[in-house]
Structure 1
Amino acid sequence: MPAAPHLKPVEDTVPMVHGEVAIGEDLEFQRRWWRFERIVWIAFALIVLLDLLGVFGKGYFAKGHIHQGPVEVKFERVERLGTPSIMTIHFAPEAIHRGTVQLWVSESVVGDLGNRRIIPQPESSTVGNSGVSYIFPASGGRSSVLFALQPASPGVFRFALRVPGVNEIRSRVVVMP
Structure 2
Amino acid sequence: MEGESKKTARSDLDEAALYFHKHPRPGKLEIQATKPLGNQRDLALAYSPGVAAPCLEIRDDPATAADYTARANLVGVVTNGSAVLGLGNIGPLASKPVMEGKAVLFKKFAGIDVFDIEIDAPAIERMVETISALEPTFGGINLEDIKAPECFEVEEQL
TM-score using structure 1 length: 0.22
Higher strand share: 1
Higher helix share: 2
